Amino acid sequence: MANHIKTPIGELKWSSSIKPKTDSYGSTNYEVTHLTTTELAGKFNDQFEQGLKAQLDVLAKEKGQQFVDSIVIKRPYHPELDETGTPTGKWKFVAKAKHEFKGKDGKMVNNQPIRVDGDKNPLPADVEVANGSEGLIVVEPQEWYLKFNDKKLSFSFSLPMRLKVIQVTKLIQYTGKSNPLDVL
């Protein structure tokens, strides 16, 4: 599997690329949701599936094919659904990166993704990407193997996508304020 996978250009939503979000477990993460058409998502999905297959082949050699067949696969992408549960024709995935981690020297390191415009120039430090912006993201697949789940009597395996780069080709800047006239 390639060290990094680039998505096709698509819509960027729910970006927290300047200030990390805190999840329900108390972890702080940089995060962005990427939406693209099923057609454009094909190559990205193929790259992911090739990497997943390679990881599962290794696991099958270690634990046996029957074990691998019993695993629940968690994919980082899926068809986007509307309010009624109907597919919208777009593929959605969320990429995250831990806000910070402990470096080899024991000091905490900020893990903010690289943020660039369409010409690979850095985005200003105070510019947050708003919903409706367009661009692509670069992710680094990370193996994640979960232990046995007693309640579901199953093992889970997934390859989360660690957010590395956000390239914005059409920027809509988030201002934090809503103007009611915008809906007119």
Q: Kindly report the CA angle at 162 between 158 and 163, in degrees rounded to 5?
A: 145
pLDDT at 10: 92
By C-alpha distance, which of 92, 83, 134, 99 is closest to 18? 99
Reported confidence tier of residue 60, pLDDT bands at 50, 70, 90: confident
Q: 5-183 adopts what CATH topology?
A: OB fold (Dihydrolipoamide Acetyltransferase, E2P) (2.40.50)
pLDDT in the model for residue 1: 42
Residue 2 has pLDDT above 60, yes or no: no
* CA atoms 126, 131, 132, 136: torsion sign: positive
pLDDT higher for 160 or 144?
160
How confident is the model over 8-16, as a mean pLDDT?
89
User: What are the pLDDT digits (tens) for 31-44?
Assistant: 899 999 888 887 77
Burial grade of 117 (CB within 10 A; 0-12, 13-18, 19 or more): middle
Say if residues 97 and 162 touch (Cβ distance below 8 Å). Answer: yes
If pLDDT is split at 50, 70 and 90, which confidence band does 155 have?
low
What confidence tier does 71 reach under pLDDT thresholds 50, 70, 90? confident
Rounded average pLDDT over 134-158: 69
In one letter, which amino acid is 129?
Answer: V
Q: Has residue 104 got a pLDDT over 50?
A: yes
